[in-house]
A and B are shown apart, each in its own frame.
Chain A
Amino acid sequence: MEESLQNLWFGFGVALEPHNLMWSFFGVLIGNMIGVLPGMGALSTISILLPLTYTMQPVPAILMLAGIFYGSQYGGAIGAILLNMPSHPPHAVTCLDGYPMTKQGKGGTALGITMISSFFAASFGITVMVFASPLLVRIAFKFGPAEMFSIMLLGLIAGSTMARGSPLKGVAMTLVGVLIGMVGTDINSGAPRFTFGLVELMDHVELVALAMGLFGVADFLRNVNRLEFVGTKMAVRFRDMRPSLAELRQAFFPMVRGTLIGTLFGAMPGTGPTITTFIAYAVERKVSRTPERFGHGALEGVAAPEAASHSKTQVDFIPTMSLGIPGDAVMALLLGALLIQGIQPGPQLIREHADLFWGLIASFWVGNVILILLNVPLIGVWVKLLAVPYRFLFPSALFFIAVGVYSTNSSLFDVMEVLFFGVVGALFMALEFPIAPIILGFVLGPLMEENFRRALVLSHGDLAVFFQRPISLGFMAACGLLVFWLAAFGLRGRLGAAPMRAVRVGDGE
């Protein structure tokens, strides 16, 4: 404990050295500026800027990359909330309520809450990282393929029914997502599935292309010639951009719950931030006394998932740094950056490169502070963007989507994918099918299949493996309960729908 504090103090010394601080700031700034462009998710922003750091010293290089990561993540939230364009997939959930808030003229509030939530969650995640990492590393090993499958199944069931409207439509869309996720090379056999002979599809459908198409482009296709401005045309006053005290109070507990969910998931490397945000959102909707507000600009629906994604990301750094096992694709890139510096991440990293490890941890926090300092004045600028008439704003956004998606893999095929999913998304919207479950199914489906089949290979084909391990059994039981509850609730809802709705509305007001 005391040693950790001392190390952290040493870390702050490293992170606050003027030239290190400068690189941190620079990273956050360009990450923020590039991340805000639609089509440039955290992953593509980092992979484009990664080569810049190859010639730098290890410590400033990794500090700058951490800064780029934060900046681009927050920049992505701006696009998701103001333009309904989630360039970083976890933000797909933030769109659900963030964009309706923007349409009601409360985009500034949503951005403010996002910033506060992410800062709170990141600070909590960093604390966990400093004091509880040995414990978390031990937990990580308890999660084998069987456990992973069970938790993904729970996430899929919880997430698919959370959308507004008919749960059946939600489940249907989740399955569509799972199907799209099947496209590509099957890792167990090496055989291509649903690739139609296209080499480009062997690597699976591009996640960013799918998210940008289904959300941003589809929304554009639906609104073109109908909207003059996004949100209200009223002049935005600075006072309107800051969340009020009442709004802060409203967002507080969702933020705390989101943070805890993110931390929990952070202990399980390989689960990824997207499922975390969906679960956080589903939980908020379940505990809320007014679930009907979700999807229409509920503040809780922004605070919880944003907090969850940030604490998850932060805690994910533990296996990345101490075991050399990246939690997700972004972490894998950061490991690559360490490698080029001749630093092999692994158990000895903390001992052999103490300055780098503790400097990085301290810089996480410093990076978050810089982000806040930078963005408090900038919120106004971002919101002002909405004053640009729709007929200029959205075509420009589309342009950036095309450029952003193209630049990640230098592939025109990916741009076509965006367009294709835009049309598909517009069709689903017209038929009132929810979009978000597609993303969930797309992300979780392949992970579920991979872990399911791996668990069976390891158990030599014995299905009982999912019920013999205590952790897996617990998740399976939760799945069963949830399905039972949904079925019972659905049936009751169908039998006595009218009286129940009356009671609910009465509750809310």
Chain B
Amino acid sequence: MIRQASALVLVLLTAVGLAVPSARADTYPSAPIRLIVPYGPGAGVDVVARVVAEALSAQMKANVYVENRDGAGGLIGTMAAAQAAPDGYTLLFASMPVTMTQLLQTTKTYDPVTDFRAVSRVLTNTDVLVANTAAPYKTFAELIAYIKANPGTVTYATSGKGTPSHLEVELIRQHYGLEMQDVPYKSFGSALTDTLANRVGFFLSAYAALLPTIKAGQVRALVVGSPERTEELPDVPTLAEAMGVPGYHADVWYGIMAPAKTPDAVVAILSDQIALAMQLPHTIERVKAVGAQVSLAPAPEFAAQVRADTERWGRVVKSIGLDALQ
């Protein structure tokens, strides 16, 4: 009996030993790495995360697998990642909304700055502002003039309160002191439908998702959020040009974050490996095919960006009282 029990304990210990790999940097990675995507399979973030996971797997010669933890606008998966063991074997595939979602909650959920270590920014996805071709404005300047001339009547579609498509426009609104009405939609699809049917004034959303409709001439692109004009729409000005504010941009970044106590050495290895994997021509091609752009930033620079964004969106959310709603 005792022998059996001790054998069992031995087996268990071995199993535990195998299951919990050490966080020692000289052997990292020695086990599969779990990349938590806080959205469901097939969602925009999931699609790019799969491409990054594939590239990283090949580069690190370790299995980097995606685990979808959908729910509460990304809160559930992000919180799961924040609470995971800080050994480098659980990572978060974060996107810019990770600096927004927690601002809308009254209870403490997570803090993107203190609960995580920024490992590396990987990609960006620019935004584009579109309007129906029948709208009375054809350029960004005309749009602003029209809103000023008709205060409170122009509507714009968003993917919900406190999402990039809402808060980016809110920033522009505050810059010009405009009066207009946001119309929240549950899905990108229904927001696009109402833009195509000319029921809403304009819509700011992901460039890649809107490009087919722009190319087909069903909507007009007024301005892009990228720092430079895009290859496909060379005639459409950037926000920085249109607003006359150098450096102004509206885009969504994607990056890899790790639980706060992940050791420096592991973060350094990961950051280097990501940089190598994402610079391969094959990877750049794949990323482009899913509508994003490789845009690397090492750990310190990425951490600064996360901090800056959290502060920026915190101010916007506070200014429109979204944080006091609940």
Contact = CB atoms under 8 A, between A and B. Distances in A.
Interface of A: 47-48, 50-51, 54, 140-142, 144-145, 185, 187-192, 197, 199-200, 202-203, 269-270, 319, 323-326, 332-337, 339-340, 342, 344-349, 409-411, 450, 454, 457-458, 460
Interface stretch (B20-28, B207-215, B250-258, B261-269): B207-215
Contacts of B322: 190
A242 to B, nearest CB: 39
B199 A458 contact: yes
A336 B209 contact: no
A47 B153 CA distance: 41
Nearest to A327: B189
A269 B193 contact: yes
A51 B50 contact: yes
A435 to B, nearest CB: 26
6 contacts: A187-B160, A190-B325, A202-B71, A202-B75, A335-B42, A340-B51
Nearest to A50: B41
Nearest to B155: A458
Given A51-B41, A200-B76, A340 B290 contact: yes
Nearest to B109: A199
A192 B104 CA distance: 10
Contact of A332 (B42, B50, B70, B109): B42
A81 B213 CA distance: 43
Interface in B280-300: 286, 289-291
Interface SS of B by simple majority: mixed
Nearest to B72: A202
Interface residues of B, number: 59
A199 B41 contact: no
B40 A344 contact: no
Contacts of A324: 189, 192, 209, 212-213
Contacts of B43: 336
A494 to B, nearest CB: 42
Contacts of A203: 70-73
Contact of B79 (A140, A199, A342, A344): A199
A197 B108 CA distance: 11
B87 interface: no
Contact of A190 (B152, B155, B161, B196): B161
B73 A270 contact: no
Contact of B42 (A200, A333, A344, A346): A333
A337 B213 CA distance: 19
A325 B41 contact: no
B241 interface: no
A344 B193 contact: no
A352 to B, nearest CB: 9
B71 A190 contact: no
Contacts of A334: 42
Contact of A51 (B66, B152, B197): B66
A185 B73 contact: yes
B233 to A, nearest CB: 14
Shortest Cβ-Cβ A-B pairs, 9 listed: A336-B42, A346-B212, A342-B289, A190-B161, A347-B216, A325-B189, A202-B72, A141-B197, A333-B42
Contacts of A48: 41
A203 B20 CA distance: 33
B41 A344 contact: no
Interface string B20-46: 000000000000000000001111101
A187 B71 contact: no
A340 B44 CA distance: 9
A273 to B, nearest CB: 16
A197 B75 CA distance: 13
A1 B162 CA distance: 47
B107 interface: yes
- Residue among B71, B160, B209 with max Cβ neighbours from chain A (10 Å): B71
The interface centre, meaning the residue of B47, B79, B189, B291 with most chain A CB atoms within 10 A of its CB, is: B189
B86 to A, nearest CB: 21
Contacts of A457: 155, 181, 183
B199 A144 contact: yes
Contact of B76 (A141, A142, A185, A199): A199
B200 interface: yes
Nearest to B326: A191
B187 interface: yes
B184 interface: yes
B183 A337 contact: no
Contacts of A460: 152-153, 181
Contacts of B117: none
A140 B190 CA distance: 11
B196 A141 contact: yes
B190 A191 contact: no
A203 B152 CA distance: 31
A454 B155 CA distance: 11
Contacts of B273: none
B69 interface: yes
Given A200-B76, A326-B187, A47 B209 contact: no
A189 B325 contact: yes
Given A190-B160, A202-B75, A348 B212 contact: yes
A348 B42 contact: no
A192 B326 contact: yes
Nearest to B46: A336
A487 B161 CA distance: 41
A458 B72 contact: no
Interface in B190-208: 190, 192-194, 196-197, 199-200, 208
A134 B40 CA distance: 32
B203 to A, nearest CB: 13
A284 to B, nearest CB: 30
Nearest to B199: A144
A345 B43 CA distance: 14
Nearest to B201: A458
Given A47-B68, A348-B212, 13 more contacts: A144-B199, A145-B194, A190-B160, A197-B107, A199-B71, A269-B189, A323-B213, A324-B213, A325-B190, A339-B291, A342-B289, A349-B212, A457-B155
B175 interface: no
A188 B193 contact: no
B63 interface: no
Nearest to B193: A325
B216 A348 contact: yes
Contacts of A51: 41, 50, 66
B218 interface: yes
A200 B70 CA distance: 10
Contacts of A409: 69-71
A252 to B, nearest CB: 36
Contact of A50 (B42, B183, B197): B42
B3 interface: no
Interface string B47-80: 1001100000000000000111111110110010
A199 B69 CA distance: 13
A449 to B, nearest CB: 11
